[in-house]
Amino acid sequence: MLTRIKTLRPTYAVIDLPSYSHNISIAQHLSGRGEVMAIVKANGYGHGADRLAEYIMKKNGIKNFGVATISEAVKLREVLGNDVNITVMGYIDKNFYPEVYENNIILTVFDYYIAETYHKFLQEKDTNANVVIKLETGMNRLGFNTDNFDICGFMEKYDRFEISMFMTHLSSSDTDFEYTNLQMKRFDDFMHKNRLDYPTSVFNSSAVVNFRNKYTYTRPGIMTYGYVYADYEVDLKPVMRIYSKIVQIKCIKKGESVSYNRTFYALRDMTIGVIPVGYADGYFRCFSNRGHVYIDGYRCPVIGNICMDIMMVDITELPESSYSSDVELMGEHVTAEMWAEWAGSISYEMLCAISERIPRVYNSD
């Protein structure tokens, strides 16, 4: 399998399942008495949600999964069977309530329109269902505002909802600890004031590593894939590595240009390697003349504009004996955080953007 994939193009991603399981263990440990709801939205941040979820269900005993859309949830249900909870944390159009019902998906209620339509659906089916109640505490994205939400009236009116948890989302647990504390206080005050004795969930990855969790569930995403912001060393392992090969070698003369639009000129005679990866694979065009790859201990800069399927690197310094070695696009020496720096973005976006055209090869133990 691996041999065929390596020769196919030959650009592929290795997804290391034991590293994912290791990161989940760290998250479990740092969650204190809280239980981990593994966040596998966006196809597991580009890693492949099915395989990851199945693996940690068995290895780590994870029973709760969070996704963003109904199609992600349905797909996961088919793979994981009926013994786990799957929560859609985002919006679900009412046309898809039948799928929510048939697949036993937990829906997130974050405003009265959803409450009204979903409750009506449940009445028509003459059934009850688990829901998450999402509270707004300062992200200003989804949720009922804690200042004026009449939760008692809500529960009386929508008596077919069985509340599986109260949730809020933190806006800046990686950059603003004071604001994070304020959001937690708003959440705690709301729960306390209304005497709500229900499961709760507040922490995302950076909260898990930077704060002490006291809530029922944590919701780590990015840290489980190996990246997080923390001001101390957290023993996380990147789960995705991406490799390719040099498929053609060229010697060019001083003064020649490379790739579309001639944005790179050789300042001396040089050797360049052509690598079959491009922006259609999620290797961003803005890495042109900025990024680098790693070959056998050598850092080789990307030169010229990155094309849709192909790019060029400077291998002048690389010994000939390394010409057929693996080209590390992302991995031990070139992290998703470096990619993010080149792109002016964050590791999350880099990982999610790795397109389906790059085959994922799964390492298990």
Ligand X SMILES: *Cc1c(COP(=O)(O)O)cnc(C)c1O
Determine, following the binding rule CB under 6 A, whether residue 220 of this chain makes contact with ligand X.
yes
For ligand X, the binding residues in 155-194 under the rule CB under 6 A are 169
* 137/204 with CB nearer ligand X: 204
Choosing from 23, 60, 205, 305, the residue that interacts with ligand X (CB under 6 A) is 205
Q: Tokens 């944390």 correspond to what residue?
A: 89
* 210/259 with CB nearer ligand X: 210
Determine, following the binding rule CB under 6 A, whether residue 31 of this chain makes contact with ligand X.
no
> Least distance from C-beta 90 to ligand X, angstroms?
7
* Cβ–Cβ under 8 Å, residues 350 and 342: no
> Least distance from C-beta 210 to ligand X, angstroms?
12
* Cβ–Cβ under 8 Å, residues 205 and 222: yes
DSSP 83: S
> Least distance from C-beta 7 to ligand X, angstroms?
35
Bridge-partner residues for 166, per DSSP?
133, 200
Determine, following the binding rule CB under 6 A, whether residue 119 of this chain makes contact with ligand X.
no
Q: Considering CB under 6 A, how many residues would be counted as binding ligand X?
A: 10
> Least distance from C-beta 89 to ligand X, angstroms?
4
Bridge-based pairing state of the strands 270-275 and 311-314: antiparallel
CA 97-356-77 angle, 5° bins: 30
> Omega before 10 cis (within 30°)?
yes
Catalytic annotation present for 101? no
89 is in an annotated binding site: no
> Least distance from C-beta 169 to ligand X, angstroms?
4
Stretch that binds ligand X, among 7-15, 217-225, 249-257, 322-330 (CB under 6 A): 217-225
Write down the H helix ranges in 134-235. Answer: 151-157, 177-193, 205-210
* 205/216 with CB nearer ligand X: 205
**Binding characters for ligand X, 290-319, by CB under 6 A (x = yes):** ------------------------------
- All residues at 6 or more sequence positions from 232 whose CB lies less than 8 Å from its CB, including other chains: none
Choosing from 56, 86, 135, 222, the residue that interacts with ligand X (CB under 6 A) is 222
- All residues at 6 or more sequence positions from 359 whose CB lies less than 8 Å from its CB, including other chains: 5, 8, 12, 13
- Report how far residue 302's alpha carbon sits from residue 294's, in angstroms, rounded to the nearest whole number: 11
Q: Tokens 């199609």 correspond to what residue?
A: 71
308 is in an annotated binding site: yes
- Report how far residue 52's alpha carbon sits from residue 17's, in angstroms, rounded to the nearest whole number: 7
For ligand X, the binding residues in 34-53 under the rule CB under 6 A are 39, 41
Catalytic annotation present for 260? yes
- Report how far residue 243's alpha carbon sits from residue 12's, in angstroms, rounded to the nearest whole number: 6
Stretch that binds ligand X, among 69-77, 123-131, 215-223, 298-306 (CB under 6 A): 215-223
* 138/220 with CB nearer ligand X: 220
Identify which of 146, 74, 43 has the alpha carbon closest to the alpha carbon of residue 355: 43
Catalytic residue set: 41, 260
Binding site for ligand X (CB under 6 A): 39, 41, 89, 169, 204-205, 219-222
Q: Which residues are annotated as a binding site for substrate?
A: 141, 308
